[in-house]
Structures are given as C-alpha cells and as structure tokens.
A and B are shown apart, each in its own frame.
Chain A
Amino acid sequence: MSRDFRSALMSADAQLVDEPQLRAMRARLDARLFRPAKPSSRWLPVLVAVSSVFIGFVAVRALAPQPVPVIGGFEVAPAVESSVRVSRQAAVEIAAEVSVVDRSRGVTISSITRSTVRREARGIRMLEGRATFDVQKRTEENGVVRVLVSGGSIEVHGTRFTVTENGTGTGSVELHEGVIDFIDENGNTRRMRPGDLMTWPRAVEPPSVIDTPADEEIEELTPLGPVRRKKVTPKKPTDIDWRPFDQRVHAQAVITELSTLRQNGQWQDAVRLLERELNRGAPDTRERLSFELGLIYTWQLKDPLAACAHWKQHQREYPEGRFDVEIDRASQSLGCTQ
C-alpha cells in the first residue's frame, strides 16, 4: 500500500520541536554564544611565532650598529660630527685633530690643523690645512689613490704621509711609511721614500740657520757687553743664544733647511741640525723635530741602534706624543726592545 509522503512528512515536522526542547536549546545556545571569550588555542602558535619575529626584529634593530654620519662623502664618528661641516663648493672643513674616512677609497684623513678637503672623481683634493693621510694597502682591484694638491698630485699605494696645503699654491708632503709618487704640474714624477719631504712650488734655496744674513743681524743685535762680563763662567757657544727670535719663524726656518738637506740627501747634516735644535723652541716644535730625527735614523741612515735609542728617549720625553702610532710601527720594524 502506498503512503502519502507529503502528509507524513508534515506530520513528522509538527512533532519535531516542542516547548521543553526549545527551552533546552535556548539555554545551551545562550551559553555557547554569550560565554566569555577565550583566546583560541589554535591561534596560540601563530601568536607566539608572530611575537617571536617581532621581538627578534626589535632586538636586531637595537643591536645593529647605528649608521655612521656621512658628511660630504666622508664618514665621521658621531662624537665629532659637529667638528666637520660642508663649506664652499662641496668641500669639507675638518677641525683640528679630527679624523674622517673615505670608505670607498680606504683613506683615513686625520687633521693636524683645521683642514679643508673635497672628494673628487680623480681623488681627494686637499684645499687647505695640514693633515695626515692613512691609506690602506692598494690592490689591483681598488687601484691607486690620488691626493690632489695645488702643486700636482700624489699617487699612493698604501702608506701614511702628511700633506700641508697653505691655500696659496704652496705646500708640502712628508712621507712617514711606504712609497708615494709626487707628480708635479708639469707631469714630472718623483718617487718619495719614508722620511722624504717634498715642497711645492720648487723650494728656493733656503738661507742657512747658521750662515745666513740673519747671523749678521744677530751680531748687531747681540749686546756684547754682558757676554764679555761673563767670561768668568764661560759657556759653550751653542748654549748661549741671546737672539730675540720668534719661535715660530725659527721653527719654520729649521723645517725649510731640513727640507733642503733632505732633497740633497745630506742626512748627516740634517742629523746635526736636528740635534742642535732639539733643545730649543716650543715643546710641540721640539717633539716634531725629535720625530723627524728618529725618522732619519730609521729610514735613511738605517741605524737601528741609534734609532731605537732615540725612539726610546723620545717616548720618555713625550709619553703621550702625537706620533706614537708611527713610532710604534718604526720600532716594530727595527725590532727595538722595550
């Protein structure tokens, strides 16, 4: 016998839900929908992973080295950032005793006086001032470094040297270590060795400190009377110096004469000059002259005994000296014992 599906289904539908069932459903559904929200455990691993990544990111950012300030293409230590500024025509003015780095060329410039330099396509132009250039050893890949000065250019293969640029077309370069080529405006190249000093334009024959007209002036200016009265306790002529000279002028005269002696290879005369002048002038000048003397003993005369003794004496007199780095290197190369 066939049965009517529609009426049977509607009859079943009418019996499907009753009031007690609805009340129970409401209570259960209310509890499910309105219970306090709890964090879903399935998201917990994701939450932990995201938090870890975030914490890691923050830690890396915090521990990462702070970006080095770059001024005019030179890196500067943050502590001395205020001592370096860009001046005219993209040149960088560096205060005295401040270092900047040209990272791409591997050059550290340590200013001795206020100096002005500029990065150019051909090299680093020294516009004014006095600064030591410390150039990393060059390879075939990075090529030579050129320091451009008013009198030409200096090709560097990895060394340490000091450039003085007076800003008036005159200046000098002193080589402390390694080898450099000085190329003047006419294209003439002169290879320099440690201890060499090169000036531009070509240095005129300087008047000798001893045999110059200045001595005549000194004779005229020296009061003879008092000297004669002191015959009872005579002193060595070198110890007596009544000349009313300006220390700076005198120091410059010594440097100029030393330059001439160097160019002529008169190393013994240079030693005598420096030994004579070591006890004169301001402390800074004396330290500088002592350093120059040590360089000559080390590189030109190649006398390790004299050089080591001199460096030892120098460091006793100037324990916090300006040339400690160079002196340490020279001492090491000579094998000096402490």
Chain B
Amino acid sequence: MEPVTLPTPLTPLTDLSVGREPVTFDALYRAHRDRVYRWAVRFAAGRTAWAEDVTHDVFLQLHRHLHRLDTDDLGAWLYRVTANQALARLRHESSWVTRILKVFSANDPVQQPDEALERRDDASLAMAALEKLPPKERMCVSMHVLDELSQREIARTLGMSEGYVSKLLTRAWDRLRADGWEVGDDS
C-alpha cells in the first residue's frame, strides 16, 4: 500500500529517540497530539469537544497497536485512523436515532443563536455548508480541499474505491453549487 502524502510532514520518529532508547507512547503522543487534533477539528467543522474525543480515541488505538506498528509509516497511520474515527462518529450522528435526540437536545451548537450570528462571514458560512453535507461527502471534501489529497489518496485512506470517492465529491460539489458556492473548475 502506498503511503499517504500528508499536508504537514510529521516529526521523524528517529528524532524522538534518545540514544538507543525505544520510542515510547508518551513521546509519540506529545509529538503528534496537536496535529491529530487539528485534523479532527477540520473533520468536526470546528467542534472542539468532538475533536478532542476523536483525538483521545486515536491515541487509544495507537496505544493498543503500538507494538506492531510500522513506525516508518506512523504519520499515514495516524491520519488514516483519525479520518476513520471521525467518519464513524459522523455516520453515527447522522443516524435517525441521533437526529431525533438532537431535536430534543438543548446543546445543539447549530441551534445556538450566538453561533448563527458568528457565521455570517464567508468562512463561517463555508464551514456551516461543510457541516451540512452527508458524512462521507463531508470527509471527502475536507480531505480534498483542506488536506489537498487526491481522490486516490482519499480512497486509500478511507478504504473506498476511487470511483466511489469521485462520485461522493461530485455529489458534494453539486450540493454546494445549489447552495450558491463556487467550487472551482477541477471539481
């Protein structure tokens, strides 16, 4: 499997080693937690608590699989796990049970009047438009636009076929265009 090209290169693991001491989970966590959190915040469309939960789960996975991980490919592994954890959470949120619960929930961030006011500018509106997309489309758009991954890289990261990723992106662009957004020629 080809390694995923990441937008920001991770600190090489050899730099984390002290002498011949093996790399510890603690060292890996402190080196990568900010990046993982940033990816999670993107996928969460700005919801920090949600992103923290994803980051927490990603490092639990790292702790569980550390003994058999290929440390040369650790950056790609972390990105892939973050994306899949985020997608799983988004899909769970989109289930009909969660939607019903959301109606009765007083903590729905979208329903907060303060946030609605803050999203008047384009940036906030773009983030809100991203949040309205279905989970898979939202992940594909986020990875394609913000992390600048190709369709092939997205497909490998999420375990989908390239054709399916292409179809998801096309659908997303159509929705955004219908919402009044210019999405560019290559879309």
Contact = CB atoms under 8 A, between A and B. Distances in A.
Interface of A: 2-6, 8-13, 15-17, 21-22, 25-26, 28-29, 32-33
Interface string B67-85: 0000000000000000000
19 contacts: A2-B182, A3-B180, A3-B181, A4-B181, A4-B182, A5-B126, A5-B129, A6-B184, A8-B122, A8-B123, A9-B130, A10-B145, A10-B146, A11-B123, A16-B38, A16-B42, A17-B41, A33-B56, A33-B59
B182 A9 contact: no
B52 A29 contact: yes
Contact of B180 (A2, A17, A22): A2
A22 B33 CA distance: 10
Contact of B127 (A4, A9, A17): A9
Size class of B's contact patch?
Answer: 20 to 34
B176 interface: yes
Contacts of B56: 29, 32-33
Interface string B107-143: 0000000000000001111110110000000000000
A12 B48 contact: no
Contacts of A6: 145, 183-184
Contacts of A5: 126, 129, 145, 176, 181-184
A28 B180 contact: no
B157 interface: no
User: Which 6 pairs from chain A and chain B are nearest by CB?
Assistant: A8-B126, A12-B123, A5-B181, A8-B122, A11-B123, A9-B126
Nearest to A12: B123
A10 to B, nearest CB: 7
B174 interface: no
A12 B34 CA distance: 18
B42 A25 contact: no
A25 B40 CA distance: 12
B37 A11 contact: no
A3 B122 contact: yes
B164 interface: no
A12 B52 contact: no
Contacts of A3: 122, 125-126, 180-182
Nearest to B37: A25
Contacts of A28: 52
Given A5-B126, A6-B184, 5 more contacts: A5-B183, A13-B146, A29-B37, A29-B52, A33-B60
Nearest to B59: A33
B145 A22 contact: no
A25 B48 contact: yes
Nearest to A32: B56
Contacts of B125: 3, 8
Contacts of B60: 33
B176 A16 contact: no
B180 A15 contact: no
Contacts of B122: 3, 8, 11
Nearest to A11: B123
Which residue of A9, A11, A15, A28 has the most chain B CB atoms within 10 A of its CB atom?
Answer: A9
A15 B123 contact: yes
Interface in B42-97: 42, 46, 48, 51-52, 55-56, 59-60
Contacts of B129: 5
Contacts of A8: 122-123, 125-126, 181
A32 B59 CA distance: 11
Contacts of B41: 16-17
A13 B42 contact: yes
